[in-house]
Amino acid sequence: GTRAQNNLELLRLLFAGIVCVVHAYDLSGLPDLAWTRQYLSSMLAIKGFFVISGYLIFVSFARSRDWRDYLDRRFRRIYPAYAAIVLA
């Protein structure tokens, strides 16, 4: 249901945040962020993010009437953000 999907979106956001924090340390070398390497795993976060994303994409496909409906939904979900980034 919607509640479970919202929890999965929250978990995906958490995984993405972990990757950002660990990469911030890797790229900056700031000593204040050194703890991230000890307590957080960007590899685990990346894998978790993609597992959950794959599941959500599969659920989206399963709820679609056909391939066209599925592709239309994916396009409408992805394209606006993509266009905004390209234009920015």
Q: Encode burial over 45-81: b for 16+ CB neighbours within 10 A, e otherwise.
A: beebbeebeeeeeeeeeeeeeeeeebeeeeeeeeeee
Tell me how far apart the alpha carbons of residues 72 and 58 are, in angstroms, rounded to a whole number: 15
Q: What percent of the chain has pLDDT over 70?
A: 95
pLDDT tens for each residue of 38-65: 899 999 999 999 999 999 999 999 999 9
pLDDT tens for each residue of 23-37: 999 999 999 999 998
User: What integer is the mean pLDDT of 3-15?
Assistant: 87
The pTM of the full predicted model, rounded to 2 decimals, is 0.75
pLDDT of residue 4: 67
Tell me how far apart the alpha carbons of residues 7 and 20 are, in angstroms, rounded to a whole number: 20
Containing 63, the helix (H) or strand (E) segment is helix 42-63
